Amino acid sequence: MMIPEPMRDTLVYVSTCLQGHNRRIFMAKTVQSLGVGGQRRAEQLLGWNRKTIRKGMHELHSGICCIDNFSGRGRRPAEFNLPQLAEDIEAIVKPECQADPTFRTPKIYTPLTAKMMRVRLVEEKGYTNHELPVVRTIGYKMNNLNFHPQTVAKCKPVKKIKETDAIFEQIFKINKETDSCERSLRLSIDAKAKVKIGPFSRGGKNRQGENGLDHDFGPKKIVTPVGIFLPLYDETFLYFTESKVTADFIVDCLENLWPNLKKRFTPDTVVLNLDNGPENNSHRTQFIKRIVDFALTNSVTVKLAYYPPYHSKYNPVERVWGILENHWNGELLNSEEKVLGLARSMTYNGIHPKVEMVNGIYPTGITLDKKEMAFYEKKLVRFAGLENWFVDIPANC
């Protein structure tokens, strides 16, 4: 017996309006009217649970009413009444969190407490004090999202310069504006520590019982991964090299990836989150030359946004390094193929990275003289008061 579409919608609607015993009896009588195979058809066409149907059939035939203990089931989760709560918490806390500096865990720490989070949900997301859950519940929600609102000694920066707060305020503003604009794209770029290839222990544990050497003798080779991470899309592109990670290498990786990004997003502005390292800071002449040439060649505005000194773990790509380190620290990285294979098998929020080995050696120490640099400096627009940390390169400079 087929159920017409209007009748199907009516049956589903009526079943959602009833509760407990009345709902089960209604489902049982409906199944009876469908004849042989009615339970299966009700499950397939109406989405009803077969166990609930059988319970209703038992009540109908025996005349016994099963009493439901609704109060014993506890309260519904906060997301039942506030379906956007988890997304709103993530939107507030994600820009202000950092990876574990030791990379011993994939945890993400935030200086925001649950109490502060509740206040910001009211101020920024329009919630009322009455509808929001209590502070303890907000803390549970943050922990469930892998954001840990506690101060950890190892997460405290070594130093804090006087411009730190102003830098964070400006970088959060730029990142938020970029993520909300369809024609802008934000990239987080950084290099991980060098990886020695050989039978060396990385401090992890292995189920197969493999043991690494307790001393780092001469490695077969040393590779360094450079990551380009798209924070809004959780996509990662890893480039491994045996060479020094120079300004030319960093920009070459960006240029290698750019055709793919341009085809997918067609951005007119690219924001680069960087850590102000020796090869990519705003006064590294070769880096500035290459990035200005990149902006002019591709007719795209580039904005350099650097995190404060001693706070590089706030750079979003650092979270990828935490996941990668915990993924392979129990393995013996004794070959290049194994290093690349483990990097490919890692996932960040369920997405595998694109991994590539870049061959060739990049020369170091390439610089521009003052006259050459003056030409490129004219094309830069530095943010007043924070000139070292925020640099704009207009597409039509």
Q: What is the per-residue pLDDT across 232-266, written as a single tens digit (0 to 9) for each? A: 999 999 999 999 999 999 999 999 999 999 999 99
Q: What is the per-residue pLDDT across 76-97, written as a single tens digit (0 to 9) for each? A: 888 888 999 999 998 888 877 8
**CA angle, corner 267, sides to 262 and 269, nearest 5?**
130
DSSP reduced 3-state for 149: coil
DSSP code for 127: -
Region of 51 please: left (phi>0), alpha (psi -120 to 50) or beta.
alpha
Q: What is the per-residue pLDDT across 4-54, written as a single tens digit (0 to 9) for each? A: 888 888 988 999 899 889 999 999 999 998 888 889 888 988 899 999 999
Burial 46-85 (b: 16+ CB within 10 A, else e): bebeeebbebbbebbeeeeeeeeeeeeeeeeebeeebeeb
User: Once rounded to an integer, what is the mean pLDDT over residues 180-199?
Assistant: 92
Q: What is the per-residue pLDDT across 100-123, written as a single tens digit (0 to 9) for each? A: 766 667 777 777 888 999 999 999
Residue 334 pLDDT greater than 90, yes or no: no
Beta bridge pairs of residue 348: 351
**190, containing H or E segment:** strand 184-191
Question: When comparing pLDDT for 144 and 228, which is higher?
Answer: 228
Q: Return the pLDDT at 160.
A: 83
Beta bridge pairs of residue 186: 271
* Side-chain-facing half-sphere of 163: CA atoms under 13 Å: 16
Q: Return the pLDDT at 7.
A: 87
Q: What is the per-residue pLDDT across 194-206, written as a single tens digit (0 to 9) for each? A: 998 888 777 666 6
Q: Return the pLDDT at 390.
A: 96
DSSP reduced 3-state for 277: coil
Separation between Cα atoms, residue 126 and residue 115, nearest integer Å: 16
Separation between Cα atoms, residue 77 and residue 101, nearest integer Å: 33
**CA angle, corner 206, sides to 204 and 212, nearest 5?**
65
Closest to 376 in 3D by CA, of 281, 244, 285, 273: 285
Q: What is the per-residue pLDDT across 146-183, written as a single tens digit (0 to 9) for each? A: 887 665 555 566 678 899 999 999 999 999 999 999 99
How does residue 187 score in pLDDT terms, banded at 50, 70 and 90?
very high
Tokens linked to 276? 């102000």
DSSP reduced 3-state for 201: coil
Give yes or no for a contact between 222 and 195, defined as CB atoms under 8 angstroms apart.
yes
Closest to 258 in 3D by CA, of 232, 284, 221, 297: 297
Tokens linked to 373? 């640099």
Give yes or no for a contact between 231 and 264, defined as CB atoms under 8 angstroms apart.
no
Q: Return the pLDDT at 37.
A: 87
**355, containing H or E segment:** strand 354-358
**54, containing H or E segment:** helix 50-62
* Side-chain-facing half-sphere of 278: CA atoms under 13 Å: 7
Q: Return the pLDDT at 67.
A: 84
Separation between Cα atoms, residue 129 and residue 96, nearest integer Å: 23
Q: Return the pLDDT at 98.
A: 77
